[in-house]
Structures are given as structure tokens and as C-alpha cells.
Amino acid sequence: DTAVSQTPKYLVTQMGNDKSIKCEQNLGHDTMYWYKQDSKKFLKIMFSYNNKELIINETVPNRFSPKSPDKAHLNLHINSLELGDSAVYFCASSQDWAALNTIYFGEGSWLTVV
Amino acid sequence: AQKVTQAQTEISVVEKEDVTLDCVYETRDTTYYLFWYKQPPSGELVFLIRRNSFDEQNEISGRYSWNFQKSTSSFNFTITASQVVDSAVYFCALSEAHDMRFGAGTRLTVKP
């Protein structure tokens, strides 16, 4: 069983569209994250949720809206997609918000905006 | 602010060579964790090791070893007798306050 799973793995869409990436973890973790990896492989945190509550919201355009229906899920919705949104988006989870826990990543979702 | 520097952008070695990936970090906290992750060509991020700031013991796991030196704020990663399957991007990361900050990564290519 995949511990952190995200779908879709590949997504090609046109500018202006709205799309969602879903993420689920079966590790029983309390904390979930979204990271963005750009074309230069740089990894940057976008959001962090702990028990469905938003904890970290980095400087991300408000076109990006995370939603956590329960602590095992953290979905990412993106409105009005732009070319610069093309990247790999990683969902991740850690045991809790006590900090310093190991973060486990999903396999990534490759988003290409054309 | 915390910062992680991986000065080596790319390294290329021939199989069976030893290779060391450097990681230097900056933090004002006394309690923090350091990590290494591997990202193979398939793209997933694989956790390799976690080390807390109070434990400076070096660690060895098979062909992998890690050298943590607080005096130089470094957490270097050595692969002994490298193999083609070690080819990947390796990320060093620092966690001190509820989020993890990554270095820019080092792309390791191991040639047969």
C-alpha cells in the first residue's frame, strides 16, 4: 500500500483552466503538506495542515486553495492556471505538528500548463 | 531564517568510486533536525536519514554514511563504491520550526 498517494500523476491542461490534485495518506499522520518543485528541482513548501487546520501558508497566489476534509486528505485546487504553475507538486505527511518529524512524500503530480 | 546550501550542483563519478555530497546549514536554533532525501529519475522523494542536533554520531547504513559536524554546520553524505542505481538528485533538508527547508539538491550521475 502506498503511504502517501496523490492523483493524478500527470496532468496537462490549458491556461485559464481550474484543476485539482488529490492526496491521501494512510499512515495515521496528523500533519499534511503541499510542496512545489520547479523546473530547477527547487523544493518549496506551499501549505501545511495539522488536523485539518491550516498552519503554514507560504506566499502562494490565492488561486491555490488547499482543502482538508479530514486529516487523511489534503487536496489542492488551482484556479485560472498560468504557465508558471507548471511544476511537480508533492503531497507529504508527518506524524504530528510537534515539529522535527520525518516528512514522507507522495510520488508527485506533474502539472504542465500549455 | 534557516538555510541549507548544497554547493555541488552536479557530480559525475564512475561506478565503484566513492563520492561525498556536501551540505551546509544555517540556523539560530539549538534544536533542529537534518535530513537527506533521494529523488531518483522516476521522481519520487525517498527519505534516507534523519539526524537531530544533539546527536553528532556518524551513521553508516550499508554503502551510505553521514558525517554530522555542528562545529562546521555540515551534514555530509558519502556513498561508498557507488553504483549506477545511485544516480539521482539528493536533497539535504533542515527542520527547526514546523516546516522543512530543502537545499537546491545535488545531481549525482554514476557512470558504468
Query: For A51-102, what is each residue's pLDDT tens digit?
Result: 888 887 777 899 999 999 999 999 999 999 999 999 999 999 998 766 567 8
Residues of B in contact with A106 (CB under 8 A): 44
Average pLDDT over residues A32-42: 92
User: pLDDT class for B1, splitting at 50, 70, 90?
Assistant: low
Supply the CATH number for residue A106's domain. Answer: 2.60.40.10
User: Residue A27: left (phi > 0), alpha (psi -120 to 50), or beta?
Assistant: alpha
- Subunit contact B104:A40, Cβ cutoff 8 A: yes
pLDDT class of B2 with cuts at 50, 70, 90: low
Instruction: Name the residue range of residue A99's domain.
Output: 4-113
**What pLDDT score does B97 carry?**
67
- Within 8 A of B89 by CB-CB distance, chain A residues are 41
User: Looking at the partner chain, which of A41, A42, A56 has a beta carbon nearest the beta carbon of B99?
Assistant: A56
The pLDDT of residue A96: 79
> Is residue A20 predicted with pLDDT exceeding 80?
yes
pLDDT tens, residue by residue, B65-84? 999 999 999 999 999 999 99
Total domains in the fold of chain A: 1
pLDDT beyond 70 at B98: no
Please give the mean pLDDT across all residues of chain A.
Answer: 91
- Rounded mean pLDDT of A26-47? 92
Percent of chain A whose pLDDT exceeds 70: 95
pLDDT of amino acid B66? 94
Over residues B35-73, the pLDDT tens digits come to 999 999 999 999 999 998 988 888 888 999 999 999 999
**Interface size between A and B, measured as CB pairs under 8 A:** 55
Answer yes or no: is pLDDT of B4 > 90: yes
Angle made by CA atoms A4, A91, B110, in degrees to the nearest 5? 85
Grid cell for residue A12? 496537462
Closest chain B C-alpha to A104 CA, distance in angstroms: 7
A99 touches chain B (CB under 8 A): yes
Q: What residue ranges define each of the domains in chain B, with the CATH number in brackets? A: 3-111 (2.60.40.10)
Q: In the prediction, which pLDDT does A87 show?
A: 96
Beta-carbon separation of A102 and B44 below 8 A: no
Specify the pairing of strand B59-61 against strand B3-5: unpaired
- Whether A14 shows a pLDDT value over 80: the answer reads yes
- Residue B60 identity (one-letter amino acid): I
**pLDDT average, residue stretch A10-25:** 97
To test the contact with chain B by mutation, choose from A102, A104, A109, A112 the residue with the greatest count of B C-beta atoms within 10 A, namely: A102
